[in-house]
Structure 1
Amino acid sequence: MLFDIISIVCIFAIICLCAVLIESRRENHMLSVSHYTITDKRIKKSATFAMIADLHNAEYGDKNEKLIKEIKKIAPDAVLIAGDVIVGKKDVSPGVAIDLLQKLGSEFPVYISKGNHEMRTGLYTEQYGDIWECLYEQTKDYAHWLINEKATLASDNIQIVGLDIDAAYYRRFRLQKMETDYLVKLLPTRHQDAYTILLAHNPDYFPVYAEWGADLVLSGHVHGGMVILPVLGGVVSPMVRLFPKYYRGMYECRNKKMILTGGLGGHTLKFRVNNKPEICVIHLEGE
């Protein structure tokens, strides 16, 4: 009798696992579009941005034609990318990311910040070779790489700042403390009267970004927590922390906002359940 019960439980578990794997495979080939509207009196002219992150060399259709088509349908004023377009592994070509940035940059203004994969391939060249150099050199004429730099959209009174933080802030298992002074020293002085968008790949430091003065933070990195459970939310972050506080959606701190995308791809465990790859559409409007 006990053997029969154990057998039934094992069979049920295998069926559930197979169902989850099938669903994950299905979701990894889908695209979702999420819309966010934000109003602020400093915005002189309404603007629409398409925001993506964590491509990790993923392809939607031949040479990402499906992804590009979806972005064209949005007809954004600019495309904002919060890092990790590549996979930071030895001998993994950045060709997919280069092709996408060149195509998007031929159609729209593109502003992009580094993620941890771009950071480490540029920092540890003895391990990763020329991956970062190839990516940057072949896309710099198509995309504005904001590496602790800013760009100002004068007609809209909007400034976009790209953040590139130290490797210590991407360590697994524990959260390295970040002080606001670190950002003050790292980033250019922002215009107090402008609406500031901060492209910051790691969302864990949202309260620090808000204290620094970012009006809107755009982040990725967490991949939506891979599996999103009802009530509990995202299950695990790339920092190997269970049920991360920030995993996907819009958050608020100090009257500042953060939009955290579930991302487009993966690099080690390409696992998604209730967490479709995502393009975020951000509508900025004056009050």
Structure 2
Amino acid sequence: MGRLFFTALINLGAYFVLRRLWPSLREGWRRQVFLGLAGLSLLAFALPLVLGFGEHGVLPVVGMPLKLFSSGWVIAVGLVMLLGWPLALLLRRRESAPASAAPVVQMTEGGAVLVAAPDVDMERRSLLVGAGRALPLLAAATSSAGLVAGSSGFVLRELDVRLRGLPPALDGFRIGQITDVHIGTFIDTQYLRATVEAMNQAWVDLQVMTGDLIDDLSQLDETMAALETCQARHGMLAILGNHEHWRGLPAVLEAYAASARRGSPVRLLVDEAHVLEHAGHRVRVVGVDYPIGPRRSVGAKAERMKRSAEVAFRGMSPDELVLCLSHHPDFFPLAVERGARLTLSGHTHGGQVALLGMPLFRFAFDYMLGRYRRGDGQLYVSGGTGHWLPFRIGVPAEVTIVTLRAEA
């Protein structure tokens, strides 16, 4: 129901903005076309609910095209609403302002000479009207481009992480990371299998899944089966994200437990560590829970993170290389304080939009996308392997291959 309500709200907001920017939309065929397309965008999410397919269900044949259309439409009208309301307010102010450009008559010896009223206001109004009418076209083009990019699969991103004092035997240790897959409406288990196979083909030593694995619990069994195709020497270590908590934590925990009972290579870490031995050296991988609780204040989140750090980092040995998995990248300073040399995170999706390599919404998180360094610790925030909305510009979905290197 959440998506349906959100879609209705965005459509309503955009309609009122467009009525101001494009007065001809108030009646006639333009109004009918807008209302028809808005209704179709609502139908894409209402029909599966009414027919018993569930919130994330997809109708046979027409279901996915409908939902892709709805997503593109919602993005477009959302852009119209966000960018159009300032234009609408400016137009309203100019229409309601008293006429300040009345004709001026100046008397001369030859008689009255009419001095033309300045037409600056009319020029500005025409500019605003033109911008308002062009906005829907710009929004539609942006939405289409982002929808195509968001539905184009993932890229394999390889990066070397240089760590001071890394033992020679661990130089070349490879980690494959997937995160924020969001199995559900737009991402299926075949896509997840492809990401695991990409890590298999890259011959990584360890695979990790750093949270927000699934939104549609009806696909949980197939999701776990896809993870279990991992062929890495040290298996796959997974942690929880906020969506596992929201969608049904008991079911997710039981699915991981059942996978472990089958002897699969997948292991879930919840405020705990797993120690593996590679080429005679111990590597401690710490996995922390997502800092969620009944209170959502900044202080409460910090308290939960601190508690996770105190529990998960117990029993460390000075001869171990410590790695940390945290869905929320804000855990990074705590991980560094406790000796983690590398932290892998997700959660932000990199904002899903970047211009010239800079995330458009970088103000939303302290650590939005890419690499960060703090003392001897480093953080990598993935742009995400999937999405819950298929819209990306400049931040492609990724499977990350990290290779540890000794810093000279």
TM-score after normalising by structure 2: 0.59
Partner SS, residue 39 of structure 1: strand
The structure whose residues are more often helix, as a share, is 2
Q: 1:271 to 1:135 in 2, by over 3 A?
A: farther
Counterpart amino acid of residue 12 in structure 1: A
CA drift at 1:69: 4.1
2:181 corresponds to:
55
TM-superposed CA distance for 1:137, in Å, is 1.9
Distance in 1, matches of 2:166 and 2:295, equals 33
Name the structure, 1 or 2, with higher relative contact order (CA <8 Å, separation 6+): 1
Aligned AA (2:393): V
Paired positions, count = 274
Aligned to 1:38: 161
The residue matched to 2:301 in structure 1 has which SS?
coil
3-state secondary structure, aligned to 1:79: strand
* Structure 1 residue runs without a partner (length 5+): 237-241
Whether 2:392 is the aligned partner of 1:272: answer: yes
Code of the residue aligned with 2:401 in structure 1: it is V
Q: Which amino acid aligns with 1:33?
A: L
Alignment of 1:200-219 (within 5 A): 200-219=326-345
Deviations 1:81-136 (A, max 9, x none): 1111111x6x653245323212225887111111122244555x5xxxx3542354
For residues 187-223 of structure 1, what are the alpha-carbon distances to aligned partners after superposition, in whole Å with 9 as ceiling and x for unaligned?
4322222111101110022112211221110101111
Distance change >3 Å, CA 213–CA 51, structure 1 → 2 = same
How big is each residue's C-alpha offset from its partner over 1:221-265, in whole Å with a ceiling of 9 and x where there is no partner?
1111122234752417xxxxx432211101011221001101112
Q: CA deviation at 1:142?
A: 3.2
> Could you give the per-residue CA deviations for residues 15-38 of structure 1, whole angstroms, max 9, x where no partner exists?
221122122222222312222212
Q: What is the aligned partner in structure 2 of residue 244 from structure 1?
A: 365
- Cα distance in 1, alignment partners of residues 203 and 220 from structure 2: 26
In structure 2, give the amino acid aligned to 1:250. Answer: R
Q: CA RMSD of the aligned region, Å?
A: 3.1
Match of 1:239 in 2: none
Residue 163 (1) aligns with residue 288 (2): yes
- For residue 213 of structure 2, give the secondary structure of its aligned residue in structure 1: coil
State the partner residue of 2:401.
281
**Any idea what SS the aligned residue of 1:265 has?**
coil
1:118-267 aligned within 5 A: 118-121=244-247, 123=249, 130-138=251-259, 141-155=264-278, 156-168=281-293, 171=296, 176-178=301-303, 180=306, 183-230=309-356, 233-235=359-361, 242-267=363-388
One of 139, 152, 158 as aligned partner of 1:17? 139
Q: Would the aligned equivalents of 1:234 and 1:243 in 2 still touch at CA under 8 Å? A: no
Q: Distance in 2 between matches of 1:270 and 1:172?
A: 29
**CA distance in structure 2 between the aligned counterparts of 1:86 and 1:61, rounded to whole angstroms:** 10
Structure 2, unaligned stretches of length 5 or more? Answer: 1-121
CA distance in 2, matches of 1:55, 1:77: 21
Cα distance in structure 2, aligned partners of 1:175 and 1:27: 37
Aligned-residue sequence identity (percent) comes to: 20
Q: Partners of 2:384 and 2:189 in 1: how far apart? A: 17
Change in CA separation of 1:118 and 1:243 when aligned onto 2, cut-off 3 Å: closer
Does residue 241 of structure 2 align to residue 115 of structure 1?
A: yes
SS in 2 for 1:157: strand
Q: Secondary structure at the match of 1:20?
A: helix
Q: Distance in 2 between matches of 1:202 and 1:169?
A: 17
Distance verdict in 2 for CA 1:96–1:262, change over 3 Å: farther
* Kept in 1: contact 2:205–2:232 (CA 8 A): no
Q: State TM-score, norm by structure 1.
A: 0.81
The answer (yes or no) to whether the contact 1:42–1:157 under 8 Å persists in 2 is no
Residues 121 and 133 (structure 1), Cα distance of their counterparts in 2 relative to 1, 3 Å cut: farther
Q: 1:170 to 1:223 in 2, by over 3 A?
A: farther
Counterpart residue type for residue 115 of structure 1: G
More deviation, 257-266/68-77: 68-77
